[in-house]
Amino acid sequence: MSTGIARFGDGRDWFFEARYGLFIHWGLYAIHGWHEQEQWRGRVPAAEYVKLQAAWNPTAFDPDAWLDLLAEAGMRYLCVTTKHHDGFCLWDTQQTPFNTMNTPYGRDIIGQLAAACHRRGVPLCLYYSVADWHQPNYPNLGRHHELAAPKPGDEPDWDRYMLFLKAQVRELCSNYGELHGFWWDMNVPEHLDESVNALIRELQPQAVINNRGFDPGDFGTPERDYEQDPARSFDTPVEACQSVGLESWGYRAEESYYTDGHLLRSLDRYLARGANYLLNVGPRADGSIPPESAAILRRLGAWKAAVGEAFTATRPASHLVPNPQLLLTARDRTLYVHLVGPIGDSVKLKPLTTAPLRATLLNDGRPVAWATNLAPTDHLDQTGYLRLCGLPANEYANSVMVIKLEFAEPLQGPPTATTGDDLRVR
Ligand code: GLC
């Protein structure tokens, strides 16, 4: 897959090929299965929360099972929490005893995952929370995603915390072979320090770094469609993130799951505009992925397998048709129409007027009818615009239809967001 976005021109360019990844939030919070921020949102005293360490024993954890699901879902890379806000570390760190080695399980989760990713050629990215509710030097001051105040015995000291953080970054970037990304979260004081990403870049030059850390990094991270970016294509690298459930990123026993239609519209909207997409599940405490979450990933994977060519070596081309019901991607003589918001069973591709040779609904391969005669709504123009007609819109109301249009001649002109070119067919 490719996009119209300027590449980095180095090892980080894997990012523009992989496009769709699996996000995993996993840690002690999976034991109660309430929310990944159980300690803070549930007002659990730190002395209580740490007792979960003695119950960490994910005997069903199998990195290959996760990667099998990733493959079935049509995903191409993995991003996993190494340390969430609770401070519990999923790797063999020398910087704090609050880690997976000092539990009944006693094994390095990140090490096992990294080995499996390397064996199977899956790019691995690591999530790391700057905010930390456990490490005694982190200044918990009640700012965004911080505990209200330091815990008894804490010694808030930002400089010492940064030494701890950098030592952990060095471990992660030195002990697990090649990494493909570093995903910062919750740099609460918005403390800038370019030396942190510089360390990552020195140790792992092919790693892409997100924008939630200590400098702007390589890519933006819009979350859960909170903001609807009106851009019809992106001109800088973006990786949207979303979870399969409305409430939580970690495992939640009472999770409320999004509909397939909601997730597919979100996924298509980002992929068709040239962004990457990271979709999250929260494994249960035993290490298995909840069946509901796995089923969602598989259904989305079936959609992606059917329509995937619309994202393969194509470029965003939505500027050709400013209709907000649809987005476009293009390659040579082929245009792909992504119906992210159809309101009826036909869709107009104004200002296009050229009939295609063939129109196919990629979701199931059926042919699609078209017309170019004058529609009553275009009486002022007295022009017949290309319409796709008789679409099975109700049948696909919980999905996104993608229609492939093949034209007789190559599409002319670079259909980039800046040219605003019409689709010229010779
Ligand atoms: C939100 C959540 C946090 C999660 C993150 C992932 O910021 O509060 O728990 O890790 O999203 O992007």
What's the rounded Cα separation, in Å, for the pair 389 and 218?
Answer: 42
Provide block-wise average pLDDT over 10 residues at a time, the chain (426 residues). 78 97 98 98 97 98 98 98 98 98 98 98 98 97 93 96 98 98 89 96 98 96 83 94 98 98 97 97 98 98 98 94 95 97 94 96 98 97 97 97 94 42 33
241 lines ligand 1 (CB under 6 A): yes
Cβ–ligand 1 distance for 37 under 6 Å, the answer: yes
249 Cα–ligand 1 center, Å: 7
Q: How many CA atoms lie within 13 A of 176 on its CB side?
A: 31
Distance 18 CA to ligand 1 centre (A): 22
Distance separating alpha carbons of residues 218 and 113, to the nearest angstrom: 24
pLDDT given at position 411:
63
Tell whether ligand 1 has an atom less than 6 A from the beta carbon of residue 332: no
Q: Where in the chain are all domains bearing CATH 3.20.20.80?
A: 11-311
Instruction: For domain 315-406, say whether CATH 2.60.40.1180 is its number.
Output: yes
Strands 239-243 and 358-361: unpaired
Q: What are phi and psi of 80, to 5 degrees?
A: -130, 145
pLDDT of amino acid 415: 44
Q: Which residues contact 30 (CB under 8 A, 6 or more apart)?
A: 250, 251, 282, 283, 284, 285
pTM of the model: 0.94
pLDDT at 3: 58
Q: Please report which helix (H) or strand (E) contains residue 261, including its range.
A: helix 260-272
pLDDT in tens, 95-133: 999 999 999 999 999 999 999 999 999 999 999 999 999
Tell the residue nearest (CA) to atom 3 of ligand 1: 249
Say how many Å lie between the CA of residue 86 and the centre of ligand 1. Answer: 12
The predicted structure's pLDDT at residue 421: 33
Q: From 3.20.20.80, 2.60.120.330, 3.40.630.30, 2.70.98.10, which CATH number describes the 11-311 domain? A: 3.20.20.80
Burial of 181-201, coded b for 16+ CB within 10 Å and e otherwise, reads bbbbbbbbeeeeeeebbeebb
Residue 322 CA to residue 314 CA, distance in Å, equals 18
For atom 2 of ligand 1, the residue with the nearest CA is: 249
Q: What was the pLDDT predicted at 417?
A: 37
**CA-36 nearest atom, ligand 1:** 9
Q: What burial class does residue 419 get, using C-beta atoms within 10 Å of its C-beta: 0-12 exposed, 13-18 middle, 19+ buried?
A: exposed
Angle at 267 between CA 229 and CA 415, to 5 degrees: 65
Determine the residue type at 42.
G
Give the Å distance between the CA of 185 and the centre of ligand 1. Answer: 7
CA-129 nearest atom, ligand 1: 10
The boundaries of every CATH 2.60.40.1180 domain in the chain are 315-406
Which residue out of 88, 185, 243 has the highest number of ligand 1 atoms within 8 Å of its CB and is therefore the one to mutate?
A: 185
* Residue 247 CB–ligand 1 contact under 6 Å: no
> Which residues lie below 8 Å from residue 151, measured CB to CB, with a gap of 6+?
46, 133, 136, 140
CA angle 239, 243, 249 (to 5 degrees): 115
